[in-house]
Structure formats: structure tokens, C-alpha cells
Amino acid sequence: MRNLDQHTITQEAIDRLAGTPDPRVREVLTSLIRHLHDFAREVNLTEDEWARGIAFLTATGQKCNDKRQEFILLSDVLGLSMLTVAMNNAKPPECTEATVFGPFFVDGAPHYENGDDVANGASGEPCEVSGSIRGLDGRPVAGARIDVWQADAQGLYDVQRDDLDTAQGRGVLHADEAGMYRFRTVLAQAYPIPTDGPVGELLTATARHPWRPAHLHFRIEAPGYETLVTHVFREDDKWLDSDAVFGVRQSLIAPWVRREDGSYALHYDFVLNPVARG
């Protein structure tokens, strides 16, 4: 078709997807094209603005590496990550809520026994974390795999430190036969998300702060249960109501108790949702 204009090009672009073999790919691309074209018309997008948008996305990709995912960070600050989590993690109210994955998870974390120190030299005040992992029926989930990771006292994850060649504040352990877990680490602190890339420029342009409230990351996996990706947040953090990535849920807020020896303790029980059986 020749001589397409701003009113006819959208349908033509959609029509050219007619031969797409995968119906889900066709459905997603059709909606994407329609909404993108409607967006451009709604804001009367200029060629210069579109070029700047492409440059922004290009820079976002260039900032990504094996230790940092700037596109995840972009999705997080736009609320898209949490929207996707919310749409895809409907659970009974008794189950632990999911939240954003974040850009600093890496595979290959060291394995620890219950009670071990996963901080492994990370700076911060000592903290012991413990709790249980159970199913919706209340039964313990013995042997559940638990990935944990967190920032140190300076608000940095180990993968953000060029001077490190070992994991800190990150590890894998397993619940015992009673579904219990326990590990030592450092007190979680609030920290700003990285602002040295395109996402930081976006926050500055929109007058938004980059802060995340103090939290620990958890990913819990066990046969017969849905994988849970979540955080546990410190209840006294001032950023709970304005988390830069929209990840806070009231049910995930817990007290870090200061003990007589000056260390801290967190106890949190997780409830997993069973996998639906067809």
C-alpha cells in the first residue's frame, strides 16, 4: 500500500502481522503497535523527540552488563515491573506477597548452611535473620531453596564494587526439615538506586528521588510451590511511602529488633502458594 498517512499507517502495520505463526506474538505486537501509534498522535510527537527517545533507549542498553540491568531499573521506576508482578501473582491473602526482582540478582551465589554468615565481610551492623517457610496448609516446606541478597551499609550491592572478587551479602541456603531458616548478615539500610545512567537522568528530569527503603531480597523455590520473589522491609524506614520502584507492601514490613549486645534480629515467616494442578 502506498501513500500512507498518519491516519492509515497504524492499520497497515497491524495488517502486516497477519502471517505471524504464534498467535500470542501477533496479539502482543498488534496491541503494542496500536498503543505506540496512539501515544505518538496523542502527544504530537516530534521527530526530534523521537530521536531523543531512541538515544535514551540506546544508552539504557549500553549501560547493561553482567552485573547491572539498566532496563530492569527503567521498568522499575516507571512502575511497569510492579504492575507486571501484581497482575501475575494473584494469591490467597494468607500467602506472602511478591514484589519486584530488582536489577542486582546474579546466579552462582555461594551456598551456606543454616546459621552461617552470608555478609561475608560486607560492612554494616550485625543482624540475625530467621523464620519459617510453610505452605498454605501450614505444613513446613522442608528443603526450600532460599536465595538472599542485599546492599551493605553504604547502600551498595557486591556487584557494584569493582574492588570485590567475592560475593558479599548474597547467598543460597535451604530450610531445614521443620521448614526453618536462619542466617547472619548485616542490618539492611535505605539506599539510592543507581543514578549514573539514563534512569538517573529520567529521575532528575521528573524531580523524583532515587531512594529505596531498607530491605532484604528473597527468592524462595520448592517443588510443588510457586516461586516467590519478594523483599522484607524495615518498619522504621522513612522511604516506605515513596519507594522509587513502587515495591512496598504493608504485609512485607517487619521490625528489626535491636538486642542488648547492639546487634539486630529479624524474624519473618513466609507462606508459599501451591502450584495449581490441572
pLDDT digits (tens, 9 = 90+) for 228-258: 999 999 999 999 999 999 999 999 999 999 9
Does residue 174 carry a catalytic annotation? no
Does residue 111 carry a catalytic annotation? no
Q: Which pLDDT does position 1 carry in this prediction?
A: 66
Q: Is the pLDDT of residue 62 over 90?
A: yes
Cα–Cα distance between 175 and 247 in angstroms, integer? 25
pTM above 0.85, yes or no: yes
At 185-201, the pLDDT tens digits run 999 999 999 999 999 99
pLDDT range class, residue 207, cuts 50, 70, 90? very high
Residues with Cβ < 8 Å from 95, sequence gap 6 or more?
A: 136, 271, 272, 273
At 211-230, the pLDDT tens digits run 999 999 999 999 999 999 99
Catalytic residue among 191, 231, 234, 264: 191
Catalytic residue among 112, 134, 157, 231: 157
CATH fold of 74-272: Protocatechuate 3,4-Dioxygenase, subunit A (2.60.130)
175 neighbors 148 (Cβ within 8 angstroms): no
At 113-157, the pLDDT tens digits run 999 999 999 999 999 999 999 999 999 999 999 999 999 999 999
Q: Which pLDDT does position 182 carry in this prediction?
A: 98
Query: Which three-class secondary structure state does DSSP give residue 195?
Result: coil
Q: Give the CA radius of gyration of the chain.
A: 22
Q: Which pLDDT does position 277 carry in this prediction?
A: 72
Q: Which of 47, 163, 204, 176 is nearest to 114 (CA)?
A: 176
Helices (H), the chain: 9-15, 23-42, 47-62, 70-77, 80-88, 198-205
Does residue 215 carry a catalytic annotation? yes
DSSP class of 261: T
Q: Which pLDDT does position 67 carry in this prediction?
A: 79
Query: Which three-class secondary structure state does DSSP give residue 129?
Result: strand
Q: Which pLDDT does position 278 carry in this prediction?
A: 59
Q: Which of 115, 146, 276, 278 is nearest to 222 (CA)?
A: 146
Catalytic residue among 134, 170, 212, 234: 212
DSSP class of 40: H
Q: What are the grid coordinates assigned to 104, written together?
A: 542486582
Q: Is the pLDDT of residue 66 over 90?
A: no
At 167-186, the pLDDT tens digits run 999 999 999 999 999 999 99
At 90-102, the pLDDT tens digits run 899 999 999 999 8
Residue 45 CB: number of other CB atoms within 10 A? 14
pLDDT range class, residue 164, cuts 50, 70, 90? confident
111 neighbors 173 (Cβ within 8 angstroms): yes
How far from the centroid of its chain's Cα atoms is residue 255's Cα?
Answer: 21
Catalytic residue among 112, 170, 181, 217: 217
Catalytic residue among 134, 170, 215, 231: 215
Which residues face 117 on adjacent strands? 184
